[in-house]
Amino acid sequence: MLSIDLTGKRALVAGVADDAGYGFAIAKALAEAGATVCTGTWPPALNIFLNLLERGKIDDARRMSDGRLLSFEKIYPLDAAYDALADAPEELRMSKRYRDAGDFSLSGLAQRLVQDFGERPLDIAVHSLANGPEVKKPLLETSRSGYLTAVSVSAYSLVSMVARLAPLMRPGGAFLSLTYLAGERVVPGYGGGMSSAKAALESDTRTLAFEAGRKFGLRVNTISAGPLASRAASAIGKIEKMVEYYAANAPLTEPLTAGDVGATAAFLASPLASGITGATIYVDKGYHAMGVAVGAGEVL
């Protein structure tokens, strides 16, 4: 019988700050399959996340199928906007939410992993990172700064992560990121350069799969997930309507769950997916296959 077995593997899931999003669901699925899991959390959200864990506020969500609670081997501060600590403005480094975090850059994360676990500490790295400060603005009204921030944090950070973590990966390692259909089709309201960032993320996935595959023997894939009414997605402003629209028009009408994406991530990170790299895998109940909205085809 085939099963997903990640026993003895260590995963890093970058972008976990609560129990509501895809990052948390992926971390839980990897742990269910036997992996140990570390996280990278945005410094302004770090203390809140730690308090949620310490006070048992998310214990129900952490409960796994065998009754154990999902635990994190390490929780690192991570701001993926910065490749090195020196890149962060001094004002930010000295601010209340950052000054005690240590090196919260991507290079700092890599260094901490080596310090904590040795020279080749990782098998799986998950990029669940995105930030579009002007996501509610149409592209035509997006500032250069807002656009570049969206692309920097939501797309380039994957390039930086692979560059810094690939040398730390053990044989058979895998990278995984999260994208959205707006990277290839128009989704009104998903603005601020975020659609451009997702398009870049998907293109970079293919190129990184080639480069990291040839240089390190690693796989790189991305999951194009349907909308989820998580806390992070609430920044879009109309996420509930997007969820309803997908359910009304997808081939499978039951709501998409974070667990659906988590299970796919566990598969892609496992040896069962050893032949898959450079791919965009749709986990959206089939919505991506539709050419017109349900009902609209009846009048064509």
Which sequence spans correspond to the domains of the chain?
10-283
What's the alpha-carbon Rg for the chain, to the nearest Å? Answer: 19
Q: State the sign of the Cα–Cα–Cα–Cα dihedral 81, 122, 34, 53.
A: negative
Which residue reads 């930030």 in tokens?
131
**Tens of pLDDT along the chain (300 residues)?**
789 999 999 999 999 999 999 999 999 999 999 999 999 999 999 999 999 999 999 999 999 999 999 999 999 999 999 999 999 999 999 999 999 999 999 999 999 999 999 999 999 999 999 999 999 999 999 999 999 999 999 999 999 999 999 999 999 999 999 999 999 999 998 999 999 999 999 999 999 999 999 999 999 999 999 988 655 555 555 667 888 888 889 999 888 999 999 999 999 999 999 999 999 999 999 999 998 888 665 544
Q: How far apart are CA 146 and CA 192, in angstroms?
A: 6
pTM score: 0.94
**Taking the chain, what is the end-to-end CA distance rounded to the nearest angstrom?**
47
Q: How far apart are CA 278 and CA 219, in angstroms?
A: 7
Q: How far apart are CA 77 and CA 13, in angstroms?
A: 12
As annotated, the active-site residues are 180, 190
Which residue reads 């250069």 in tokens?
144
Q: Where are the beta strands (DSSP E) in 116-256?
A: 122-127, 169-179, 219-225
Domain 10-283 has CATH 3.40.1360.10: no
